[in-house]
Amino acid sequence: MGIRKPKIVVIGGGTGLPVLLEGLKRYPIELTALVTVADDGGSSGEIRKKFNVPAPGDIRNVIIAMAESDPELGHLFQYRFQDVEELSGHSLGNLLLASLTEVKGSFFAAVKELSHIFNVKGKVYPMTDESISLVAEMSDGTIVNGESNIPLAKKKIKQIYLGPETPQPIPEVIEAIVEADYIIIAPGSLYTSIIPNLILPEINQACQQTDAHFIYVCNIMTQDGETTNYYASDHIHALHSHMNDNIISSIIVNNGKISQKTLRNYRRENAKVVQNDYDQLKAQGLTIIADDIVDDSTGTVRHNTGKVAKLIYQLIRS
């Protein structure tokens, strides 16, 4: 009998999740991605309203990141129509997911079918088969409805809620969390891509029940309207306060340098480097893994997929 592969569950959405998965899929692990469907802007938001399906955009990107199919098929999946009025701005992948949902009878069934077509290494699960609506209470008491509207308010976020109806998570999601050896919380928009997954009541409960070791891969840059002026420990505090438990054991932070040219671009967006307040992180009982994990070669700050995956695998092996 061979050695059992560790079960790794990665939770998130946005651009941070596929970057992480692209590196992790190369290691001998059982990999499961649990993906947010809270997006209500852009192509995802329009398709969500027109077809009454959960937001497909983050799922689409994760399928491509975990695929082991012909890269040309991936490029076609990501293709966006430009000159057809009714389709302008929509990606072929989003439209395929919406169409398959109608054919297969559920969004989850559509995701499973496309995962098979793209020969995905591991499993891709949307958090729920239903659309998620977000509500934010700001520190001044203002209430903001809708994922895309929350950062536009430019106010400090006190709490994120689900409303008006609480969707049911897919049973396979709960099972994956309970049975996981390690749960990785991916970088991404903290209040609109990450926390919405964790505050679904059944998911929150599963996170309390699991024996998994929780690792948070911290954002490298702040985000205007969500994490303005946040330190690394502020991200941890937000996660723990929404989950009503200090579940995170380890945090991976960047200590690499970013070019001044790239930082100037981010300053125009009122974003800056997340400061690593090591004393505060230690006071929260966290194991800190600090390394040069930044890639800003394109002028945009991203996590270096190979380096982060290697750090996570080394932590698992140790």
pLDDT in tens, the chain (318 residues): 467 899 999 999 888 999 999 999 999 999 999 998 887 656 656 766 676 778 788 898 899 999 987 677 666 667 666 665 565 556 777 888 888 988 999 999 999 999 998 899 999 999 999 888 899 999 999 999 988 899 999 999 999 998 767 789 999 999 999 999 999 999 999 999 999 999 999 999 999 999 999 999 999 999 999 999 999 999 999 999 999 889 999 999 999 999 999 999 999 999 999 999 999 999 999 999 999 999 999 999 999 999 999 999 999 988
pLDDT at 85: 58
d(CA 211, CA 62): 26
Nearest to 204 by CA among 169, 228, 249, 237: 169
d(CA 266, CA 38): 25
121 and 62 in contact (C-beta within 8 Å)? no
pLDDT at 37: 87
64 and 74 in contact (C-beta within 8 Å)? yes
Domain boundaries, the chain: 1-30+169-318, 37-128
pLDDT at 79: 65
Strand ordering across the sheet containing 213-217:
123-126, 30-35, 7-12, 182-185, 213-217, 248-254, 287-291
The two structure tokens encoding residue 276: 């690593």
| Tokens 């698992």 -> residue | 316
Nearest to 263 by CA among 274, 251, 275, 272: 272
Helix (H) or strand (E) holding 249: strand 248-254
pLDDT at 89: 58
C-beta neighbour count of 267 within 10 angstroms: 10
- Greatest Cα pair distance, the chain, in angstroms, is 59
The number of C-alpha atoms within 13 Å of 42 and in the hemisphere containing its C-beta is 14
Mention every residue, 6+ apart, whose C-beta is less than 8 A from residue 260: none
CATH for the stretch 1-30+169-318: 3.40.50.10680
92 and 164 in contact (C-beta within 8 Å)? no
d(CA 126, CA 100): 15
d(CA 151, CA 269): 12
